[in-house]
Structure 1
Amino acid sequence: MDREQEQTLAEQEALLAECKLYQGEKEPENKEPLTQTDEDETVTGLPVGPTPTSTDVGVPVPPTPWSTGLFQCFGTGDEHFSSDLEVCVLGAAAPCVLYGSNMERLYPHSRVFADRCLHYSCLLFLGQLLFNANNIAPWSSVGSRIALRRKYNLEGYGQYCFGCSGTPGEESRERCDSICDMFIHGLFCLHPFALAQEGRELRRRTLHPAFQPYLVVTMAPPMEQSMSS
């Protein structure tokens, strides 16, 4: 065996010894033993450091106030003034149209405006025929106010009407607010104000279902044409 072969064999033995060291067959002499804490962290996989604090889940969110008050017929004079003025006029002159518009924004489906407007108009005509007052149609709009208040988590008027108190998540508070909604719509003198308040709230929170954004469509230029012989 010549010198070149001996050098190659020595390099192979050194490489084999290094591989055995990485595979754990030979432990380093200055390695520190694992403590009990290190073994627990290795087994369980718990993060090092303090335990993260838990967050409260299921805590009721406090209700938000209405954008405008019940008797703010002209709104707050902001950028929605023209819309608030339209709602005020519709509530006083054509409550059936305002009710249909509110239901169209609350339940954006086809034919909602026509069906609800016709339904309200029939009850309005019946109340005028029997009692000479609009005292039947307002009862049909109580459910829409309750649905609107629950959808956007709005404050009820139960504490002002009947002095109800309690946390927002209590069923008694919700029942009291629903009774107050019936009381507001049941009084024909407050019914137009309630419809207008609901209309202002819906117009601030939703877009009209018929609203379609304007799309710019670009057309490619026609291809060049040539006459063949």
Structure 2
Amino acid sequence: MANPEESSPLLIKQGDGEGNAKHDEKRSATESGHSCGGSAEWTVDGLPLGHGSVVGEPVARARWDSSLFACLGRNDEFCSSDLEVCLLGSFAPCMLYGSNVERLGSGPGTFANHCLAYTGLYLLGSSLFGWNFLAPWFSYPSRTAIRKKFNLEGSCEALSRSCGCCRGVMEDEVQREQCESACDFATHFFCHTCSLCQEGRELRRRLPHPGFNGRPILVMIPPMEQTMGR
């Protein structure tokens, strides 16, 4: 849309230098506002949003904090928690799975319901097939929920980023989510213990335990005994 001052016939009749000076001053102020970000928008985190950003453009997915086979985690402030996750995943996967689902913010009784159901499927699969065959069918939706909650990349997207394959599937949102859900199931089915441990490490770094109360407590200290001096 053209500038109304430039298209107005009054500017042609005003041939003096004052009109040109005002026009140049206004144009320079407009250009400086665009260049200095005077009309730039800002995100919640305080990051500038450029003028060339496209509304609706998909946000880049983050990577998992630890890899699938990093059984002992990392040597940081969560080292003891990573060791606990590794022990639970190796000897009590039902408790680790119940703890992971509980941290996702479900309602009361979530730990007991998921832990007992997982234990039943674990014992049934171990007695019938000799290995944990049925529990991954029940537990793999937790991995999908963690991906969607924290906008994490899936196995298919990581494979496409590393080797460049399956780019046609990654471009379509519906096909990509179907592929990622299938990869979540395959990860739980073939690497069940490692997937539970990876999810446990990710949740413990991102979410506090639901039973943790971080609100400050006000403690009233009684005044000291006062005596009257002479």
TM-score, with length taken from structure 1? 0.69
Matched, 1:174 2:172: no
Equivalent residue for 1:148, pick from 140, 143, 146: 146
Kindly state the Cα deviation for residue 217 of structure 1 after the two structures are TM-superposed. 2.6
One-letter amino acid of the structure 2 residue matched with residue 83 of structure 1: S
- Higher Rg of the two aligned structures: 1
Kindly state the Cα deviation for residue 54 of structure 1 after the two structures are TM-superposed. 6.3
Alignment map for 1:2-151 (pairs within 5 Å) = 35=10, 49=30, 53=51, 55-151=53-149
Distance 1:216 1:181, change over 3 A: closer
One-letter amino acid of the structure 1 residue matched with residue 73 of structure 2: G
> Could you list the runs of 4 or more consecutive aligned residues of structure 1 that deviate by over 6 angstroms after TM superposition?
none
Q: Is the 8 A contact 1:108 1:209 kept in 2?
A: no
Matched with 1:17 is: none
Q: Is the 8 A contact 2:105 2:210 kept in 1?
A: no
Kindly state the Cα deviation for residue 89 of structure 1 after the two structures are TM-superposed. 0.4
Q: Is the 8 A contact 1:103 1:112 kept in 2?
A: yes
Equivalent residue for 1:164, pick from 166, 177, 187: 166
Distance in 2 between residues matched to 1:62 and 1:212, nearest whole Å:
33
Aligned residues: 180
Aligned-partner SS, 1:173: helix
Distance 1:157 1:65, change over 3 A: same
Kindly state the Cα deviation for residue 49 of structure 1 after the two structures are TM-superposed. 3.1
Q: Is the 8 A contact 1:165 1:173 kept in 2?
A: no
Kindly state the Cα deviation for residue 102 of structure 1 after the two structures are TM-superposed. 0.1
Matched with 1:12 is: none
One-letter amino acid of the structure 1 residue matched with residue 189 of structure 2: G
Distance 1:80 1:49, change over 3 A: same
Kindly state the Cα deviation for residue 78 of structure 1 after the two structures are TM-superposed. 1.4
Unaligned segments of structure 2, at least 5 residues: 1-8, 13-26, 40-50, 224-230
Unaligned segments of structure 1, at least 5 residues: 1-33, 38-46, 223-229
Distance 1:141 1:36, change over 3 A: farther
Distance 1:136 1:62, change over 3 A: same
